[in-house]
Structure 1
Amino acid sequence: MVTEGYRIHRTVASDWREVRDLRLEMLRDTPIAFGETLQDALGHSESEWRMRAARGTAEHGTVLVAIDPAGQWVGTMGGYVPDPAAGPLLVGVYVSPGHRGRDAGVFDTLLAAIEDWARDEGEVLTLHVHEDNARARAAYLRRGFTETGHRVQYVLDAAAMEIEMVKRL
């Protein structure tokens, strides 16, 4: 898929270097947005990165990336179904700082592609966003997600919470 100059790509095992580099960028830029530390990610082996990259074509899961016209990986979103009754869960959302904003369209393009994937997995797309990540919460609200009132403990800090949000597909 090509939209507004960005190509959307489902990751495969051979993308492991790019998946690794983008993940490390994500963790450096917005550490509270993800469930692992930069230190942990730096310790992963090539086989771990290959496994993560292969998630793009997993059964009941996907990882999508946005690639700019110069070939740079500038955004990503993933989804998987942790439990058929729960339906699809949006995870691993990131857009590089220079490609953020409505004018760039990276977030919206990736989200539309994830929603297309999620429709085959359920009727509601769920996500969890760190309570202190106001920028992300606002972005999800603008795109039709609503807060459920449910909170889950943030995996890296027992004193912090993540807010559950949902969107009907």
Structure 2
Amino acid sequence: MPRPEPLIRTTTEADWKQVRELRLEMLRDTPIAFGETLEHAEAQGEAVWRLRAARGTTPGQTSIVAIDRDRWVGHMGGWIPDAASGPLLVGVYVTPTYRGERRGVSRRLLEAVEEWALEHDDALRLEVHESNSRAIAFYEKLGFSLTGHSRAYDLEPGGLELEMIKRLR
């Protein structure tokens, strides 16, 4: 039986070139969504990209990608900033031609992150820029709700990062 496309899996250090390529695509597509500038990411060396790719195999964090044949088409990650706050969803991206319910890439990536998060807590949090209405609507559709907490967005254009949460049990 053929595998469903795209393949969903965690990253390893050996994936560093593909992780870099996808991250640069993410930053070009939606610069406000990732807390890093394209210029900063482009300036990082191989050692940094190897560490980022290894997040898929590092305790306390995960990095999950969607791969359609040889094309990397999506990413979601998670990490635990501290014991009190629990798992945080980060680095959410799907290539534009793979977005939408018909493809199911976003849901499959999120399911994988939720499985990881359940090993640590019964909820998954995220932060989203207040002007990223497409992302907010997407997260609400997948069961996240605004908590009422926010923090200042660190990069230009400023504004707020809104916290959202999804109960997993």
Matches within 5 A, 1:9-158: 9-68=9-68, 70-157=69-156
Percent identity, aligned pairs only, is 54
Contact 1:4 1:105 in 2 (8 A): no
- SS at 2:39 equivalent: helix
- How far off its partner does 1:152 sit? 1.1
For 1:85 and 1:3, locate their aligned partners in 2 and report how far apart those are by CA, in whole Å: 38
User: How far apart are 1:98 and its partner, in Å?
Assistant: 0.7
Of 129-138 and 158-167, deviating more is 158-167
Letter in 2 for 1:14: A
Q: What's the TM-score once normalised by structure 1's chain length?
A: 0.96
Please state how far the C-alpha of 1:58 moved relative to its aligned partner.
0.9
Distance (whole Å) between structure 2 residues aligned to residue 57 and residue 154 of structure 1: 29
Aligned residues: 167
Deviation string for 1:88-131 (max 9, x for gaps)? 00000000011000101000000011001100011110000011
The 3-state SS of whatever aligns with 1:8 is strand
Q: Is the 8 A contact 1:99 1:106 kept in 2?
A: yes
Q: How far apart are residue 3 of structure 1 and its match? A: 6.9
Unaligned runs of at least 5 residues, structure 2: none
> How many Å apart are 1:29 and its aligned residue?
0.2
1:31-76 residue CA offsets vs partner (Å, 9 max, x unmatched) = 00011100001100000000100011110110000001x2210000
Q: Gaps (5+ residues) in structure 1?
A: none
SS at match of 2:137: helix
Counterpart code for 1:111:
L
State the one-letter code of the partner of 2:32: I
Q: 2: CA distance between counterparts of 1:64 and 1:18?
A: 12
2: CA distance, partners of 1:164 / 1:84: 17
Q: Over residues 109-162 of structure 1, what are the superposed CA-to-partner deviations in whole Å (9 max), with x where a residue is unaligned?
A: 000110011000111100000111111100100011000011111121373101
Seen in structure 2, the aligned counterparts of structure 1 residues 164 and 130 have a Cα distance that, compared at 3 Å, is same
CA distance in 1: counterparts of 2:157 and 2:122, whole angstroms = 31
- The aligned amino acid for 1:159 is G
> Partners of 2:158 and 2:145 in 1: how far apart?
23
Distance in 2 (alpha carbons) for counterparts of 1:18 and 1:72: 9
List structure 1 runs of 4+ shifted beyond 2 angstroms. none
CA distance in 2, matches of 1:3, 1:111: 19
| TM-superposed deviation, 1:4 | 3.8
